[in-house]
């Protein structure tokens, strides 16, 4: 469902009940007003009929001259809307309990009433109230009853003596068709229904148009984002300036683009460097074997080729294994299992593995690390980190120099292990293979050439263990390189960029 449709439905779902409530309120108000007006008209009719009630010697009677009989004739056929009728009852002066024979006596009823009744004399007489009822011809009507007590002065001169009608009362019941109320109400209901339909249609059109207009900057932004070529990420989203509300989204998108671009750049550099690391030994191996196979060789030549090829394959194997481990760590497939690990045995094992390479170059190790030192680390990742640090030092330290290794304890299972040596063959460079800033000045002097990969592996292992790797390079102090791993780092994350000293 599109955003426009969703917002349209939400707006309609909110406005429709409101509109219906307003319409119902309007209908009820108009109905009440019209009914009150009809009741007033009924009251006026009742008053006019009551004026004809007279006190006569035999009781109450009607003055025929005062009767507005012309208003109560049966309406022509089909004009039930003008139907009006009445009944005038003489009520007994005393309560019925006291005089069982005393019954209401019908004084007069309109011809328009036909055989119907407005009031059943068997019940209690309604007192000054109005009600809805059905009139002859199945006409909906409204009736009003009014109790009238003719006073003495209303007696005819020379008529019944005063007191003849003591306590006598008349009940005037008048009814008319509800047409003056129901007609306008029906028209109003139809009008409101039509207005509702029109409101919905116009509302949908207006809401969708408004939303389309309002969402135009969002759609422009969406188009700009869709048009981005993943292979060539721009510095920022190229969309026309939009409203202020979209600025945070645009800023976040641009920020995301920058971060994705930086990540892709790192990935690209890593892939290129890793490819170079792998391609070089493969090229060596292939050329070596093809040249050797190009003509018959002596046994001595063949053996020399086999030895060189074997060394190259072993180096290739180490490279591939290291790259695979780095990939596993970076992708989170190799998780760190942190526990207190004795540092000295792990370091001694790493030094023992690098001893042959170090001895060949006259590089010695000076280790200052108490035997009982333990750090919070993953044994396997710790071994990976130490092996690469120590082998790098053995391989890149100046020939016949000393590699110093010491530990600065900073709490339980926490502290910094520093491996320091001089390496005049190294320079600090921005052209960083594998994202690491140290590079050899003369790659030909060392056989393996995977310094960047080694440091990248150490950094990845440290990051997985929540340790920090800090590499310092002081060109002014005999090209002093110090690689320091801080175990139990407070933020538990590796540094993103080493610094030059």
Contact footprint for other proteins (CB under 8 A)? 272, 275-276, 279-280, 282-288, 290-292, 294-295, 308, 312, 440-444, 447, 449
- Residues 397 and 403 sit within 8 Å (Cβ to Cβ): yes
Cα(260)–Cα(157) distance, integer angstroms: 112
In the complex, least distance from residue 355 CB atom to other proteins, rounded to whole angstroms: 23
The residue among 236 and 284 lying less far from other proteins, judged by its C-beta, is 284
**Structure token pair of residue 252:** 């976040």
SS (H, E, C) 440-489: ECCHHHCCCCCHHHHHHHHHHHHHHHCCEEEEEEEHHHCCEEEEEEEECC
The residue among 10 and 291 lying less far from other proteins, judged by its C-beta, is 291
In the complex, least distance from residue 276 CB atom to other proteins, rounded to whole angstroms: 4
Any bridge partners for residue 366, and if so which? 404
The residue among 201 and 272 lying less far from other proteins, judged by its C-beta, is 272
**Structure token pair of residue 85:** 């009728």
Determine whether 405 is exposed, middle or buried from the number of CB atoms within 10 Å of its CB (0-12, 13-18, 19+).
Answer: buried
In the complex, least distance from residue 209 CB atom to other proteins, rounded to whole angstroms: 49
**Structure token pair of residue 393:** 């030092």
- Residues 470 and 409 sit within 8 Å (Cβ to Cβ): no
In the complex, least distance from residue 423 CB atom to other proteins, rounded to whole angstroms: 14
For strands 364-368 and 402-411, give the pairing. parallel
Cα(317)–Cα(313) distance, integer angstroms: 6
Cα(365)–Cα(324) distance, integer angstroms: 29
In the complex, least distance from residue 416 CB atom to other proteins, rounded to whole angstroms: 32
The residue among 41 and 288 lying less far from other proteins, judged by its C-beta, is 288
- Residues 83 and 138 sit within 8 Å (Cβ to Cβ): no
Cα(257)–Cα(68) distance, integer angstroms: 92
The residue among 252 and 307 lying less far from other proteins, judged by its C-beta, is 307
The residue among 93 and 309 lying less far from other proteins, judged by its C-beta, is 309
| Closest C-alpha to 422, from 440, 444, 403 | 403
The residue among 15 and 233 lying less far from other proteins, judged by its C-beta, is 233
**Structure token pair of residue 29:** 């108000």
The residue among 9 and 283 lying less far from other proteins, judged by its C-beta, is 283
In the complex, least distance from residue 399 CB atom to other proteins, rounded to whole angstroms: 17
**Structure token pair of residue 428:** 């600090």
The residue among 339 and 443 lying less far from other proteins, judged by its C-beta, is 443
DSSP H helices in 339-450 = 343-360, 379-396
In the complex, least distance from residue 281 CB atom to other proteins, rounded to whole angstroms: 8
Tell me the longest C-alpha to C-alpha distance in the chain. Answer: 169
In the complex, least distance from residue 268 CB atom to other proteins, rounded to whole angstroms: 9
The residue among 142 and 315 lying less far from other proteins, judged by its C-beta, is 315
In the complex, least distance from residue 231 CB atom to other proteins, rounded to whole angstroms: 12
Among left, alpha and beta (phi > 0; psi -120 to 50; other), residue 309 is alpha
In the complex, least distance from residue 493 CB atom to other proteins, rounded to whole angstroms: 32
Q: What is the DSSP string of 86-138?
A: EEEEEEPSS-TTT-TT---EEEEE-GGGTT--S--TTSPPP-SEEEEEEETTT
In the complex, least distance from residue 290 CB atom to other proteins, rounded to whole angstroms: 4
The residue among 141 and 449 lying less far from other proteins, judged by its C-beta, is 449
């Amino acid at each position: 469902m599109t955003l426009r449709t969703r917002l349209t439905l939400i707006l309609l779902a909110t406005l429709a009940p409101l509109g219906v409530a307003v319409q119902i309120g309007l209908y009820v108000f108009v109905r009440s007003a019209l009914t009150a007006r009809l009741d007033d008209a009924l009251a006026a009719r009742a008053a006019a009929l009551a004026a004809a009630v007279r006190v006569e010697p035999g009781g109450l009677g009607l003055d025929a001259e005062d009767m507005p009989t012309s208003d109560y004739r049966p309406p022509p056929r089909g004009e039930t809307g003008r139907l009006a009728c009445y009944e005038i009852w003489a009520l007994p002066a005393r309560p019925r309990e006291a005089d069982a024979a005393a019954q209401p006596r019908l004084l007069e009823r309109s011809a328009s009433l036909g055989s119907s009744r407005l009031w059943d004399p068997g019940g209690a007489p309604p007192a000054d109230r109005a009600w809805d009822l059905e009139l002859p011809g199945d006409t909906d009507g409204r009736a009003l009853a009014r109790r009238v007590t003719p006073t003495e002065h209303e007696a005819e001169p020379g008529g019944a003596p005063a007191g003849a009608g003591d306590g006598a009362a008349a009940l005037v019941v008048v009814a008319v068709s509800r047409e003056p109320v129901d007609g306008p109400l029906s028209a109003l209901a139809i009008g409101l229904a039509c207005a509702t339909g029109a409101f919905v249609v116009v509302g949908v059109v207006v809401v969708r148009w408004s939303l389309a207009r309002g969402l135009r900057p969002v759609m422009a932004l969406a188009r700009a984002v869709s048009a981005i070529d993943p292979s060539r990420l721009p510095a920022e989203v190229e969309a026309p300036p939009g409203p202020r509300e979209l600025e945070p989204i645009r800023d976040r998108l641009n920020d995301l683009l920058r971060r994705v671009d930086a990540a892709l750049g790192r990935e690209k550099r890593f892939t290129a460097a890793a490819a170079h690391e792998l391609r070089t030994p493969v090229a060596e191996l292939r050329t070596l074997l093809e040249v050797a196979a190009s003509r018959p060789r002596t046994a001595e030549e063949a053996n020399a080729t086999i030895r060189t090829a074997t060394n190259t394959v072993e180096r290739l194997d180490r490279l591939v294994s290291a790259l695979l481990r780095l990939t596993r760590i970076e992708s989170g497939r190799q998780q760190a299992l942190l526990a207190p690990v004795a540092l000295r045995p792990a370091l001694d094992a790493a030094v023992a593995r690098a001893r042959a390479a170090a001895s060949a170059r006259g590089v010695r190790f000076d280790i200052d690390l108490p035997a009982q030192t333990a750090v919070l680390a993953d044994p396997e990742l710790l071994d990976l980190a130490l092996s690469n640090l120590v082998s790098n030092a053995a391989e890149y330290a100046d020939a016949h120099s000393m590699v110093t290794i010491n530990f600065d304890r900073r709490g339980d299972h926490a502290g910094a292990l520093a491996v320091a040596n001089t390496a005049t063959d190294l320079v600090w460079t921005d052209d960083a293979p594998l994202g690491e800033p140290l590079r050899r000045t003369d790659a030909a002097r060392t056989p393996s050439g995977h310094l960047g990969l080694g440091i990248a592996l150490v950094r990845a292992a440290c990051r997985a263990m929540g340790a920090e790797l800090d590499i310092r390079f002081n060109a002014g102090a005999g090209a002093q390189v110090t690689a320091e791993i801080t175990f139990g780092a407070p933020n538990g994350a590796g540094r993103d960029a080493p610094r030059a000293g």
